[in-house]
Amino acid sequence: MKLPAPLVRVRSAAAQGLALVLRVAEPILSRARRFGYEVLARSRLRGRVASGVQFVGPVIVEGTGNVHIGPRTRVGRHVFFETYGAAAIEIGSDATINDGVVLVAYAGIHIGDGAMIGEYAGVRDANHGVRLGVPVRLQEHASAPVQIGADAWIGRGSIVLRGVAIGAGAVVGANSVVTRDVAGNAIVAGAPARPIGERPDAADFGAATGLREEG
């Protein structure tokens, strides 16, 4: 049903007024929501969660909840933490764990200071057995710890599998599958991920882009 023009103008004016009220209130509401997310996350996680950790949205916790998070780390919406037995997920300071990241530890996952994990990436330190004659879902997991170095960047949608060590400063391209170790400062991509380059130093980057450091 089409509204008469005068009612359309009244509706629009009312919507604009309510929008202005919400715009003023939004910073307060946002702080309240994030405080609630932090309270819920801290109630579910059994490890050490430092002060200053920012929970942008709700998290999902399965298993023992043995998760340790360093100061000033940002945890995105719907991050999934799963730990079993004595395994722990350890995240350093100033790290970024973006929306939808899945972290599953049977042996242990360590993520270094300042590392970034892109949206919907996964880090799993265990795989099901695949022997014939036994359903895969009933087979025991084979596990080995995963290490992700400081300042490493794991691109959106990538998967890091058991036993992998990713060196400090390494970059993993989006949607890659990492099955073997990655050297520090290396850039890898693909499925399986393979080296495609190295991070340039500041001088090389400036020369390549036309930028230069002032000072």
Using a pLDDT cut of 90, give the percent of the chain over it: 73
Q: For residues 170 and 184, is the Cβ–Cβ distance under 8 A? A: yes
Greater confidence, 184 or 18? 184
- Does a structural domain hold residue 154? yes
Q: CATH number of the domain at 97, please.
A: 2.160.10.10
Greater confidence, 43 or 204? 43
Is residue 178 pLDDT above 50, yes or no?
A: yes
Greater confidence, 110 or 25? 110
- Does a structural domain hold residue 162? yes
Distance (Å, whole) CA 183 – CA 198: 9
Instruction: Find the domain containing 76 and state its range.
Output: 45-209
Q: Give me the mean pLDDT over the 174-193 stretch.
A: 97
Distance (Å, whole) CA 94 – CA 137: 37
Q: Which residue, among 50, 60, 55, has the nearest Cα to 31 in the 3D structure?
A: 55
- Does a structural domain hold residue 74? yes
Is residue 146 pLDDT above 80, yes or no?
A: yes
Q: What is the DSSP letter of 180?
A: S
- Does a structural domain hold residue 145? yes
Greater confidence, 128 or 114? 114
Which is the catalytic residue, given 68, 110, 128, 141?
128
- Does a structural domain hold residue 173? yes
Is residue 1 pLDDT above 70, yes or no?
A: no
- Does a structural domain hold residue 214? no
φ, ψ for residue 29, nearest 5 deg? -65, -40
Is residue 215 pLDDT above 70, yes or no?
A: no
Q: What is the pTM (predicted TM-score) of this model? A: 0.83
Domain count, the chain: 1
Is residue 8 pLDDT above 90, yes or no?
A: no
| Structure confidence by residue, pLDDT tens digits, 69-95 | 999 999 999 999 999 999 999 999 999
Give pLDDT, residue 211.
44
- Does a structural domain hold residue 152? yes
- Does a structural domain hold residue 82? yes
Q: For residues 157 and 119, is the Cβ–Cβ distance under 8 A? A: yes
Q: Is 128 among the residues known to form the active site?
A: yes
SS3 assignment for 82-140:
EECCCCCEEECCCCEECCCCEEEECCCEEECCCCEECCCCEEECEEECCCCCCCHHHCC
